[in-house]
Amino acid sequence: MAMKVYGPAASTNVARVLVCLEEVGLDYELVPVDMTKGEHKSPAHVSRNPFGQVPAFQDGDLILSESRAISKYILRKGGGSHLLREGNLSEAAMVDVWLEVESGQFDSAMSPIVFQCFVVPMFMGGTTDMKVVEENLEKLKKSLEVYEARLSRFKYLAGDFVSLADISHFPMAHYLLVGPHASVIDAYPHVKAWIADIMSRPSVKKVTELMEAAIRMN
Amino acid sequence: MAPVKVFGPAMSTNVARILVCLEEVGAEYEVVNIDMQAKEHKSPEHLARNPFGQIPAFQDGDIVLFESRAIAKYVLRKFSKSAGVDLLREGDLKEAAMVDVWTEVEAHTYNPALSPVVYECLIYPAMRGVPTNQKVVEESLEKLKKVLDVYEARLSKHDYLAGDFLSFADLNHFPYTHYFMGTPHASLFDAYPHVKAWWERLAARPSVKKISANMPLKF
């Protein structure tokens, strides 16, 4: 039975899981969850993700939530362990460090920006709160200074090898690139080049298409 | 082997996150204080360890790390075998996944609901001399109750979060929960008997008792 991912492709957390499946080439089925109709809070979905969030994931009788946990499971199972480096203490630690940074710094600044610039106008019929966007753009820029310094020394975040830490950035990076604030990365040439590199991976291109198709449908 | 170094105040939650893991594997370590009041965490010396100017940072020989969960995992991977513990379960795909799931839940769901209560009731009044923002506390407690509903259901089925074995996922909950128990809202856990019993099991561990001793509830 193919693995199942439950959630909309346009969701950054769903996309994170999809790109890992594409990286390892495992068969999967994307099962839609209509969040505009509250399907993520339905008893069926909550039985898979007890906090009523997306994604949820199923492999046989194993049910998982939390995109970064699901991603690691997929990579370990599907022959993608080179993206985790768990056989090498110091390399694995660097992957973990930058995965934490992705979550704690990049995602936490980008998430309110994406919410205000995409979700609010497109799905909630509201107006973007520019104050929230500006505050988070400032936080993002401070983080990007650190990324720029890091990527001036190494090709990728964990070192000179690509890892889940890099790929995990792609969904929010995609929304940054297609949104009104893409030019913010122009001041960080190594970051800009690194993002372009990640976005050119076949797995990332494939999932980007799924994300775009999902948004067009709305 | 030289002791590993953890940079940051011993009473800091994210320092404690690492220290409890060091205790569980019996590794030798040294805590090097970073004077936050004097802005030592923004000094060039510390920025070389943690480029975001935060605590903790960590050093083991040539290896310098930041981000407490990444550091804690490094410690567990390095020292677990010789200590005879297995808190990450990386030898078993499914168990490792469950450890990861509940570690993520602590970071993204449990902590954001619980930590504002700790900040408003303990930390901000002591460090900034500001009164508790009761609105933030009330909103957080409402979120926390919903989270604890899920934890209660989970811990009714298993002794620990990832399954019937203690793991990194459980230990991650210790530092902020320890401080929560020093707020006026500790009794919230009484309504969740399996959660309360799980917390008491954690708190009774020698590693947790030892690190808790450096985390006074009165600031």
**Residues from chain B contacting residue A12 (CB–CB below 8 Å):** none
ipTM over 0.90: yes
Beta strands B63-66 and B57-60: pairing type?
Answer: antiparallel
pLDDT reading at A54 higher than 70: yes
Query: What mean pLDDT comes out for the span A95-107?
Result: 98
How far apart (Å, rounded) are the C-alpha atoms in residues B16 and B23?
10
φ and ψ of A7, to 5 deg: 150, 165
Q: How long is chain B?
A: 219
Nearest CA-CA partner of B211 in B3, B71, B9, B59: B9
Cα B65 off chain centre by: 17
Nearest CA-CA partner of A196 in A185, A207, A187: A185
| pLDDT in the model for residue B219 | 66
| pLDDT in the model for residue B128 | 87
A104 interface with B at CB cutoff 8 Å: yes
**CB spacing of A69 vs B100 below 8 angstroms:** yes
In chain A, the N- to C-terminal Cα span, in Å, equals 30
Q: What is the pLDDT of chain B when averaged over all its residues?
A: 97
User: For B97-114, how does the pLDDT look when each residue is reduced to its tens digit (9 = 90+)?
Assistant: 999 999 999 999 999 999
**CB spacing of A64 vs B97 below 8 angstroms:** yes
| pLDDT in the model for residue A218 | 64
Q: State the best of B108, B115, B149 to mutate against chain A, taking most chain A CBs within 10 Å.
A: B108
CB A176 within 8 A of CB A185: yes
Our CA angle for A12, A17, A21, nearest 5°, is: 140
A89 interface with B at CB cutoff 8 Å: yes
Min Cα distance B200 → chain A (Å) is 24
Q: Across the strands, what pairs with B64?
A: B59
B48 interface with A at CB cutoff 8 Å: no
Q: What is the pLDDT of chain A when averaged over all its residues?
A: 96
B90 interface with A at CB cutoff 8 Å: yes
How far apart (Å, rounded) are the C-alpha atoms in residues B73 and B70?
5
CB A31 within 8 A of CB A82: no
**Residues from chain A contacting residue B104 (CB–CB below 8 Å):** 66, 68-69
Counting Cβ atoms within 10 Å, is residue B203 exposed (0-12), middle (13-18) or buried (19+)? middle
CB B131 within 8 A of CB B125: yes
Q: Which residue of B has its CA nearest to A165?
A: B70
Which of A76, A77, A96 is the closest to B70 by Cβ? A96
A85 interface with B at CB cutoff 8 Å: no
User: For A135-167, how does the pLDDT look when each residue is reduced to its tens digit (9 = 90+)?
Assistant: 999 999 999 999 999 999 999 999 999 999 999
Cis-peptide, bond into residue A202, ω within 30° of zero: no
User: What predicted TM-score, i.e. pTM, was given to this entire model?
Assistant: 0.97
Our CA angle for A56, A60, A65, nearest 5°, is: 20
Scanning chain A, the segments in alpha helix (DSSP H) are 12-24, 43-46, 67-78, 89-101, 108-114, 120-123, 130-153, 164-167, 170-178, 189-199, 202-217
CB B171 within 8 A of CB B147: no
Q: Which residue of B has its CA nearest to A73?
A: B97
| pLDDT in the model for residue A123 | 85
φ and ψ of B173, to 5 deg: -80, -15
CB B13 within 8 A of CB B212: no
User: For A186-215, how does the pLDDT look when each residue is reduced to its tens digit (9 = 90+)?
Assistant: 999 999 999 999 999 999 999 999 999 988
Strands of the sheet containing A28-31, edge to edge, are A28-31, A3-6, A56-59, A62-65
Which residues have CB under 8 Å from A134's CB, separation 6+? none
| pLDDT in the model for residue B218 | 78
Nearest CA-CA partner of A18 in A162, A211, A218, A178: A211
**CB spacing of B101 vs A90 below 8 angstroms:** no
Q: State the best of A66, A67, A94 to mutate against chain B, taking most chain B CBs within 10 Å.
A: A66
Residues of chain B with pLDDT under 50: none
Which of B51, B74, B93 is the closest to A76 by Cβ? B93
User: For A109-140, how does the pLDDT look when each residue is reduced to its tens digit (9 = 90+)?
Assistant: 999 999 999 999 988 899 999 999 999 999 99
Query: What mean pLDDT comes out for the span A35-41?
Result: 94
| pLDDT in the model for residue A6 | 98
Q: Across the strands, what pairs with A30?
A: A5
